[in-house]
Structure 1
Amino acid sequence: MSDQLRHSNLEKTYNHHDVEQRWSSAHWEELGVYEAESSRVLEGGKESYTVLMPPPNVTGSLTLGHVLNHTLQDIFIRYQRMQGREALWLPGTDHAGIATQTVVEKKLRKEGISRHDLGRREFLDHVWQWRDEYGGLITRQLRKLGISCDWRRNLFTMDERASKAVRHAFISLYRDGLIYRGKRIINWCPVSQTALSDEEVIMKSRKDELVYVSYPLVSRPEESITIATVRPETILADVAIAVNPEDPRYRDLIGELCVVPVAGRHIPVIADSYVDIEFGTGALKITPAHDPNDYDVASRHNLPVITVVGRDGRMIDDFGYRGMDRFEARKKIVHDLEERGNLVRTEEYEHNVGYSERADVVVEPYLSEQWFVNMKPLAEKALEVVEEGEITFHPRHWLSTYRHWMENIQDWCISRQLWWGHRIPAWYDSEGRTWVAESYEEACHLAGTDKLVQDEDVLDTWFSSWLWPLTTLGWDGGHCDNDDIRAFYPTSTLVTGPDIIFFWVARMIMAGLYFKGEIPFRDVYFTSIIRDLKGRKLSKSLGNSPDPLKVIDTYGTDALRFTIVYIAPLGQDVLFGEEKCELGRNFATKIWNATRLVFMQREKYFTDMDEFSSMYREFRPDPDACSGPERWILQRYHALLEGYHQAFRQFRLNDIVRSLYEFFRGDYCDWYLEAMKIELDTAAPEDARAKVCLAISVLEGVMKLLHPVMPFMTDEIWHHILDRSAEESISLQAMPQPLEQWRGLDVGGFGLVQSIVSEIRSIRALFSVPHDMEAEVIVKASRQSAVAELQSYSPIISGLTRSRVDIVVDAVRPPRSASAVVDGHELFVPLKGLISFEKEIARLEKEVANVMAYVKRLEKKLSNQGFVANAPEEVVRKEQEKLHEAQDNLEKLQANLHVLSD
């Protein structure tokens, strides 16, 4: 054996730090392995496959959500690349308007500066400086995850190309009558002092007081109508009391006037079917400036609008609360209502309240003038293409959620009261007229004057990201036609969280259809939601969100990637605890050790790497020349390939990693390699070399299948199989395909051998036979014709069970022997000399007594009619399952005791 061959083996212990450093993203990028070119599609005839990276916030850092999402994308793109497609993964980051401005303003406040001190231009210089210095953290961390993007194409949503596309989109929609400016109730953040999209509002459970307040009738002061509210501070802005027209309690009060407590204003009682008869008292105060539903009611009834809470969350009323924080005013007005005799009662009330995602304060419904997109015309076609199957959701059940939202869609508030973002391309003249244009110069030309002032607001961050499928492929707002768009649009698979199905997925579909006339992608894979082991969503406030970089440092990137997909079935939540990564780390170690074992056999039977390479490159397994275990592993391997490719077509990535895990640990390691070691002991040199080549060829195939999931380790092992240069990569190898000749192949008696081995191992375990003691096994064959085949496998049976095997047709069961039946063949294992009968009988008798007592307790519990009648059905069912399991266990124990007592 040469030093060259010895050198080609792996280090004794798997060290993920070394392996991941050696095959880092920087190495792959330097080689240009993941660069995709439109020419290879348009001129070379290759089929394209494109994935869009949901752009992480430029302020962000790696989370487990990113790990799952980007690992899934990487699996798709690596698989399709190895399938021979021109695979393009388009990366980028989002400017994250509110988040980024908040971070920079916080930094400036520490220096005693506000953005208003600096002015807009200088403040934006600070933001760009911050972005250049700190904004690349998330992309550096994603590289550590090993993702295979074409990083040359990395796009930032504030890059000039993207900005031009945003301006063009706004102008086109405005000129088509789909963007307008108007007054609406929107989500308002009193801290950031900007409108928020629904996505930027986090719903939290909160306990408040439900306050019951009486409103005296003007015509009958001794009578009143009682309402219930959790926002008593907005009583000062009430303009009506609404009741349901079908509610008999209030039918005679419709049209009457009431007195608003504290404010003293007279307001009407109106009838509106919006009112829920069952909630509170069935009477609802209408405060149109502070509730979107109340605003709709007020619009239907031509009611005035009064505002009492300002932009900063402080009161602006004229009734003695001006300047108070809204929550302080709430306490004060409840006290005042009680003093005035209008407080009926209070009770605790738990409900969901919207909080600003960034500022973590309660969002204020606020009436203001904003820019909106008319969504209904855009939504109709976007719903149609999904319902007709042009775009497929995985899992499919998200279609109903999508349909509900699209059929009940509201206009989109796209303006934000920020400085960081795409400034709205609208200018106003001295008469208040609006001029929407690409630039100030164009606006002046349209207006016929240079006395114009640009709108101060910027666009919602989502207004740039809904154009993502186009801008990432080079669209800048002009004609949607360039080589990249022709080659890679529509994109293939979008991987994203279901929580942004409305805010991003639906809007991208609308934008693609409106600006390009085509769908933006063909498949949408909705990821699982990651929760902790108690089922809670991961959050910093709960302290239950592990740092992925620390997990990677402890367990390795491959281990984390493998684990998180292994535990994430399509459409189901993921319960994640850091310790679950033991699964991935142990699997990586198993792969490493099994590979070392096979490579050591290579060292034993080949003189040097040249000899091995020459034979291995030409090696093609011949079914007729293969032994039973070899035919069996090849049949199993090709069945794995069929299932693997089928699972990819069906987007069942969890099934893929589970099948690979089970095949490698069980089929390849536990059965095939163990049998191979035994066969090698008696094989002729040429046969032994063929066996080693077969073992390595299956190993290499599995490494290719595993590569999309565990890219680092698989590239390392692949480079050790043959003398390959660092410039080569497993990423560019062809994915193995199933061969017809191995489908349904007769694998001989190896399946029977496995069953026999399993039964012998089970007997040894049941009777606590020490592992290092050799047992005697008598196989009473059911027919003479089976003896020869079983005898050919006797070395494997012996080696896998540490036993001496005798195969006969006319055997008699020896005394005190354990037995089993496998496919009509009887197995006898004499126990004399293997165990202490006295000790084992005593142990079994004690265990039988314990199990009998347990069975009696369960039987007594289930015979109690009170328990059966009153306990939940699921509880009763579980107790019955426990009883059946205990009874089966008792039967086995008694049978074993009978054998020893014979």
Structure 2
Amino acid sequence: MSDQQVPFNLEKTYNHSEVEDRWRSAHWEALGTFHAEHSRVHGEGRKPYSVLMPPPNVTGSLTLGHVLNHTLQDIFIRYSRMTGKEALWLPGTDHAGIATQTVVERKLRKDGISRHDLGRKDFLTHVWQWREEYGGLILKQLRRLGISCDWRRNLFTMDERASEAVINAFIALYRDGLIYRGKRIINWCPVSQTALSDEEVIMKPRRDQLVYVRYALAKDPARFITIATVRPETILADVAIAVNPQDERFRDLVGEMVVVPIAGRHIPVIADDYVDIEFGTGALKITPAHDPNDYAVAGRHNLPVISVVGKDGRMTDEYGYMGMDRFDARKKIIADLDELGNLDRVEDYEHNVGYSERADVVVEPYLSEQWFVKMQPLAEKALQVVNDGEIRFHPPHWINTYRHWMENIQDWCISRQLWWGHRIPAWYGPDGQVWVADSYDEACRLAGTDKLVQDEDVLDTWFSSWLWPLTTLGWTGPKSDNEDLRAFYPTDTLVTGPDIIFFWVARMIMAGMYFKGDVPFRDVYFTSIIRDMKGRKLSKSLGNSPDPLKVIDTYGTDALRFTIIYIAPLGQDVLFGEEKCELGRNFATKIWNASRLVFMQREKHFEGPEDFARYYEGFDPSLESFDMAGRWILSSYNAMLERYHAAFAQFRMNDIVKTVYEFFWGDYCDWYLEALKVTLAEGCSPVDARKAVALAVHVLEGSLKALHPVMPFITDEIWHSVLPRPATQSIASSEMPVPAAAPVAEEGFGLVQKVVTEIRSLKALFGVPPGLRAEVRLKGARSAAGASLEGGLSFIAALGQCTPSLLEDGTRPPHAAASVVDGHELFVLLEGLISFEKERSRLQKEIQNVSNYVAQLQKKLSNSGFADHAPEDVVMKEREKLADAEANLLKLEDNLAVLSD
């Protein structure tokens, strides 16, 4: 859009596509609206506020999870920008080692090529080409969502600066003794062919068979010791049978040798406290190469380690199963054990099994040499800052989850058997010695030889992500510093899903405390989990995950953003159905139509845009006097702003949208704009009319600003029609309204509202057609209150569609529906509005039906068999039904009396 001025009024119909196309992120970016500068922090003293974008995978596309997460971040950043802070939102993407390599390999396989055919260098060239072509898709989609990042700072985890930080962090940790290489049982993904950290393993319930197997004693083949296992295929790698030393059943067998079925090896029976006496038979096979606990037992008893399952999940044994898939081998071994007479029995068994998060296959415990980070020394300070409140969790119950994990933390396996990622900066000499350095030349200098070979593995993707608060601000290593870091670190608010509290949140806190000596952020907002209307998690396999871009096409970006925040209370799951976006779309239409109404009134009472601009720029509602409707809307507006800012301070984002929604739709549109019509139609002076219209615009503009963080497109569009503003300006750079220091309290119009509401209720109760005006008599409880009623008669007449007047005495008019509002008597005269005969007939039938229902309930409750023996809550519900029915009956009889007096 050029810098031309936007029309002074709006098109008749709201078209979200046209509006959003006009105010796309590209327009805001061109204006520099979202740019943040450290110079304004250091030089001008502006308070900094920074948000860290959880970097989406380059393989990703927009999901509803992204919509919720990034809309929340955008609300925080836009609000802070409008409250005068130097607001910086740091964007970026993650290289997603396993996911990206899998995508590229799949693409190559279609052409009959494997990565090994290409070699590492050429394969990485293909990956970079793929990234250049497809890796920016998620960012384009996020831009369509209207998010307000400082896109100049967009960082990719494999960029040169980020890569330098990763390598320097590895070297520093290694030299401080916190990174080591060791042989341990790790989680292995047979499909991705790489190690996985514990956090990349998803535990799922699985039904397997618990197989009971007899092991014959070597010296007495007629005697057996029976074990229970869910992995009979690993029997071929057994090195011992373990029993608990306190188990009297097996005490005489400790030290004896037994024969491994099929394999024929002799292995000892050992005693170890690890064995659970209650599980299975109380005897446990020890297979150290395929179970981390067994590996620990083997270490304590100096047992050998034998492996029979390879990296690809296929058998590597010498007993006739070599090359078979591990699960196929399991079935065959069970059959062979049965044939050999070693199978005791088989039972169904439900247990939790680890699956690879990426490949969704059962993880194989695998003995391998890998690189690890010692986590305990890093976890102590990271736990302390959360316990001490230096970092606050929202909702706070996630602290318990965080604390449990940190107190039971395990070392982090950081090496991955991939080609795509940050290659481990370690080189091996001819003698096997390891040299860790930032380059081959530096490693050669340290080793005193150029006969070095670099480690083939890359680092876990999360090893770059845990440095994200630092690298996004230009940090490249422990000694680096710059103006951005000094201005914007620590960041302020992290918005993320609770599912990565261990993957990412905890590790970022550790990295921040270790490398910078300070927390990486002050507050962590954990988003809700989005489910479908049946309560199921959204997933492609279930086909229950709507495409956000299609939802945007149908309902609009603002409608989707508004709806997803409106239905997402802090700490609660969200049930989302696409049809719920009707709420947001209807609200956007309401905002548009209300704005047009106000602008049309402006056209009637001002001589054009310049005339209004001159008047409005000097307009201060706190210095003006208004009628009761004007005083009331100012009071209500200030109360809304108080609740709005309080909700932000308490991270109640759901309350923010509800607060503005209820004020704008209810107080402003349903009441005040209707009252404004009355004010302007009564022939008020031109001076008062201009004041009233300016007040309506003032409250409208303030509401638009409050809504802008949630609904950026429609609010910027309408804001440009408030005054003749050029397109080079944006509401995003305007000042957020705050409550008045001494807001005006107005109760008179509140009484008018109650009276009007009661008139509408009585008319509906007696079936008065909506278009008919009723005669209404009012009697104030006190003289002051009566004055308020008298001052509000014109509003009562228009809003209640009636002809009201004040009663001089307390005589009740005949055939009048009566009520009391705050002590004031109210009578709606029904004569001439309805057919008394028809209404009496209808009421008599309804009274008969309710009377019969009351009699049934009374009979049921008087029955001692029911009252004395039914559950107490059931009896209570029946008594509540009776009370409600009796109250309804009294009301119907009163209404009949009104028509019969």
Q: TM-score, normalised by structure 1?
A: 0.95
Count, aligned residues: 897
- CA spacing shift, 1:770–1:183, aligned 2, 3 Å: same
d(CA) in 2 for partners of 1:507, 1:489: 17
The CA deviation at 1:573 is 1.2
d(CA) in 1 for partners of 2:154, 2:610: 43
- CA spacing shift, 1:499–1:482, aligned 2, 3 Å: same
Of 38-47 and 95-104, more deviation after overlay is shown by: 38-47
- CA spacing shift, 1:863–1:389, aligned 2, 3 Å: farther
d(CA) in 1 for partners of 2:69, 2:377: 31
d(CA) in 1 for partners of 2:463, 2:262: 43
- The answer (yes or no) to whether the contact 2:101–2:127 under 8 Å persists in 1 is yes
Q: Look up the match of 1:616.
A: 616
Q: Look up the match of 1:831.
A: 830
Percent of aligned positions that are identical = 73
1:757 to 2:765 alignment: no
Q: Look up the match of 2:578.
A: 578
User: 1:447-489: CA deviations, max 9, x gaps?
Assistant: 1111111100000000011111111111122623101111111
Q: Look up the match of 2:732.
A: 731
1:535 to 2:535 alignment: yes
- The answer (yes or no) to whether the contact 1:243–1:272 under 8 Å persists in 2 is yes
Q: Look up the match of 1:320.
A: 320
The CA deviation at 1:894 is 4.5
d(CA) in 2 for partners of 1:452, 1:202: 38
Of 260-269 and 76-85, more deviation after overlay is shown by: 260-269
Q: Output the amino acid matched with 2:658.
A: R
d(CA) in 2 for partners of 1:300, 1:260: 21
- CA spacing shift, 1:177–1:784, aligned 2, 3 Å: closer
1:72 alignment partner, SS class: helix
- CA spacing shift, 1:6–1:370, aligned 2, 3 Å: closer
- Structural mapping, 1:188-587, within 5 Å: 188-218=188-218, 221-477=221-477, 479-587=479-587
Q: Look up the match of 1:10.
A: 10
Q: Look up the match of 1:690.
A: 691
- CA spacing shift, 1:59–1:688, aligned 2, 3 Å: same
- The answer (yes or no) to whether the contact 1:68–1:565 under 8 Å persists in 2 is yes
User: 1:863-890: CA deviations, max 9, x gaps?
Assistant: 9999999999988887776666555545
The CA deviation at 1:111 is 0.2
2:602 alignment partner, SS class: helix
Q: Output the amino acid matched with 1:363.
A: V
User: 1:592-630: CA deviations, max 9, x gaps?
Assistant: 111111111111111211111111111111477111111
The CA deviation at 1:320 is 1.5
- Structural mapping, 1:879-894, within 5 Å: 888-894=887-893
Of 499-508 and 338-347, more deviation after overlay is shown by: 338-347
Q: Look up the match of 2:795.
A: 796
What RMSD in Å do the two structures reach over aligned CA positions? 2.5
2:621 alignment partner, SS class: coil
- CA spacing shift, 1:194–1:845, aligned 2, 3 Å: farther
d(CA) in 2 for partners of 1:665, 1:473: 42
1:11 alignment partner, SS class: coil
d(CA) in 1 for partners of 2:451, 2:717: 66
The CA deviation at 1:242 is 3.3
Q: Output the amino acid matched with 2:58.
A: V
2:103 alignment partner, SS class: helix
- CA spacing shift, 1:423–1:522, aligned 2, 3 Å: same
The CA deviation at 1:261 is 2.6
User: 1:706-741: CA deviations, max 9, x gaps?
Assistant: 111110011001000000000001111111111122
d(CA) in 2 for partners of 1:548, 1:866: 58
Of 612-621 and 892-901, more deviation after overlay is shown by: 892-901
- CA spacing shift, 1:329–1:727, aligned 2, 3 Å: same
The CA deviation at 1:237 is 2.0
1:601 alignment partner, SS class: helix
- CA spacing shift, 1:767–1:297, aligned 2, 3 Å: farther
- CA spacing shift, 1:195–1:146, aligned 2, 3 Å: same
d(CA) in 1 for partners of 2:579, 2:518: 45
The CA deviation at 1:294 is 2.5
Q: Look up the match of 1:164.
A: 164
d(CA) in 2 for partners of 1:245, 1:856: 73
Q: Look up the match of 1:707.
A: 708
Q: Look up the match of 1:770.
A: 769
- CA spacing shift, 1:848–1:206, aligned 2, 3 Å: farther
- CA spacing shift, 1:616–1:442, aligned 2, 3 Å: same
d(CA) in 2 for partners of 1:304, 1:858: 79
d(CA) in 2 for partners of 1:223, 1:847: 85
2:378 alignment partner, SS class: helix
1:625 alignment partner, SS class: coil
User: 1:808-852: CA deviations, max 9, x gaps?
Assistant: 241422333221111111111122322233433444455555556
- Structural mapping, 1:801-816, within 5 Å: 801-816=800-815
Q: Look up the match of 1:626.
A: 626
User: 1:165-188: CA deviations, max 9, x gaps?
Assistant: 111111111111111111112111
- The answer (yes or no) to whether the contact 2:188–2:366 under 8 Å persists in 1 is yes
- CA spacing shift, 1:128–1:214, aligned 2, 3 Å: same
Of 655-664 and 854-863, more deviation after overlay is shown by: 854-863
User: 1:284-307: CA deviations, max 9, x gaps?
Assistant: 333222222332333333332221
Q: Output the amino acid matched with 2:75.
A: I
1:780 to 2:779 alignment: yes
Q: Look up the match of 2:90.
A: 90
The CA deviation at 1:231 is 2.0
User: 1:429-453: CA deviations, max 9, x gaps?
Assistant: 1111111111111111111111111
Q: Output the amino acid matched with 1:668.
A: Y
- The answer (yes or no) to whether the contact 1:512–1:520 under 8 Å persists in 2 is yes
d(CA) in 2 for partners of 1:563, 1:764: 34
The CA deviation at 1:158 is 0.3
- CA spacing shift, 1:853–1:372, aligned 2, 3 Å: farther
d(CA) in 1 for partners of 2:879, 2:485: 62
Q: Look up the match of 1:72.
A: 72
1:58 to 2:61 alignment: no
- CA spacing shift, 1:613–1:354, aligned 2, 3 Å: same
User: 1:65-115: CA deviations, max 9, x gaps?
Assistant: 111110111000101111111111000000000000000000000000000
The CA deviation at 1:575 is 1.2
Q: Output the amino acid matched with 2:809.
A: D
- The answer (yes or no) to whether the contact 1:313–1:325 under 8 Å persists in 2 is yes
Q: Look up the match of 2:639.
A: 639
Of 45-54 and 472-481, more deviation after overlay is shown by: 472-481
- CA spacing shift, 1:105–1:608, aligned 2, 3 Å: same
- Structural mapping, 1:847-886, within 5 Å: 847-848=846-847
1:67 alignment partner, SS class: helix
2:321 alignment partner, SS class: coil
d(CA) in 2 for partners of 1:891, 1:156: 72
The CA deviation at 1:797 is 0.7
d(CA) in 2 for partners of 1:546, 1:860: 53
User: 1:119-155: CA deviations, max 9, x gaps?
Assistant: 0000000000000000000000000000000000000
2:295 alignment partner, SS class: helix
Q: Output the amino acid matched with 1:708.
A: P
The CA deviation at 1:856 is 7.0
Q: Output the amino acid matched with 2:473.
A: L
- The answer (yes or no) to whether the contact 2:71–2:710 under 8 Å persists in 1 is yes
Of 804-813 and 277-286, more deviation after overlay is shown by: 277-286
2:345 alignment partner, SS class: strand
- CA spacing shift, 1:846–1:232, aligned 2, 3 Å: farther
